[in-house]
Amino acid sequence: MPIPDFQSAMLPVLRLTQDGKDHTLGEAVEAIAVEFKATEAERNELLPSGRQRRIHNRVGWAKTYLQKAGLVEANGRGRFRITPRGKQVLQGKPTRIDMKFLEQFPEYNAFAALKHDAPDAPSSAPELSVSNETPEEVLDESYQELRRRLAEELLERIKACDPRFFEKLVVDLLVTMGYGGSRKDAGQAVGQSGDEGIDGIIKEDRLGLDVVYIQAKRWNNTVGRPVVQAFAGSLEGQRARKGVLITTSDFSREARDYVKHIEKKIVLIDGGELAKLMIDSGVGVTEVATYTVKKLDLDYFGDEE
């Protein structure tokens, strides 16, 4: 029996979690391989990029869509488990779970609508066999989908780490982005930051002509104006003019409006922006494949555009 497509893998993946325990993607891949009697060659078949096994890729997408529909939930450190909704679905003894089946759940529909309506909307599913888009559009949308999935995985992992690691991560990111000079200098600054609502101090440039004060909050709840206002007060106590407040969650509209109307320069970075900056700066991620898209060189052939 050939490797199942990602939709055919959804029900088997959900059944794996019916014991209520935490499971890893590797366990799900093994369960699918056993259920579909995959041969050794099929287990090791790679995607065209040569960087990932096809069965691992498809089972990963199956888990992602189940999670978007609220049938399974992430539990930190790359693990996932069934939800009450997932148990209810299995009690109905479905013969198949696919994207059409998942449309009964509002969270999945909101996710699907976001993918189509957002300015950087990703593709509706991996390995689509029918598409009205050009290959360039499909490639770009697939890239955005992978970025968004990676961003979500980054935030899940960060939230599972301890607060001290998060503070270190923030400094690593800012240094990689060009602030603070060396990691050693930045580390010394963090150690001298004190306890007045400031988690770290980093040089704005390599010469240290100005400094930026940092506060890092590994939160799940929305950060409101009182927290941002307290951070601004901490800057005042340090006679500082610039600050960066980073969270793994989000900021309320009142908090964002507040920083627009104060003299001090405070940059708010929410979880989504944090993940994007980490991906772009290569912090906490590693490159698995590079694709170069080329077009005909009309100048070489003496043609005009």
86-138 per-position pLDDT tens digit: 999 999 999 999 999 999 999 999 888 865 554 444 344 444 333 356 667 77
**DSSP code of 299?**
T
- Check pLDDT > 70 for residue 264: yes
pLDDT interval class at 281 (50, 70, 90): very high
- Check pLDDT > 70 for residue 168: yes
Q: Which domains does the chain have, with CATH numbers?
A: 9-115 (1.10.10), 162-281 (3.40.1350.10)
Q: Look at residue 297 in the predicted model and tell me its pLDDT.
A: 80
Q: How far is the C-alpha of 89 from the C-alpha of 110, rounded, in Å? A: 19
* Mean pLDDT confidence for 288-298: 79
* Mean pLDDT confidence for 199-210: 74
Q: Which of 49-58, 103-112, 174-183 has the lowest mean pLDDT?
A: 174-183
* Mean pLDDT confidence for 57-83: 91
Query: What region, left, alpha or beta, does residue 160 occupy, with left being phi > 0 and alpha being psi -120 to 50 degrees?
Result: alpha
- Check pLDDT > 80 for residue 83: yes
* Mean pLDDT confidence for 261-288: 93
Antiparallel, parallel or unpaired: β 211-217 and 242-247: parallel
**Using CB atoms within 10 A of its CB, is residue 223 exposed (0-12), middle (13-18) or buried (19+)?**
buried
Q: In which element (H, E) is residue 152 found?
A: helix 135-160
4-22 per-position pLDDT tens digit: 899 999 999 999 999 999 9
Q: How far is the C-alpha of 180 from the C-alpha of 229, rounded, in Å? A: 25
Percentage of the chain modeled with pLDDT above 90: 48
Strand stretches in 18-164, DSSP E: 23-24, 72-74, 79-82
Percentage of the chain modeled with pLDDT above 70: 83
- Check pLDDT > 50 for residue 39: yes
**Using CB atoms within 10 A of its CB, is residue 242 exposed (0-12), middle (13-18) or buried (19+)?**
middle
Entry pTM: 0.68
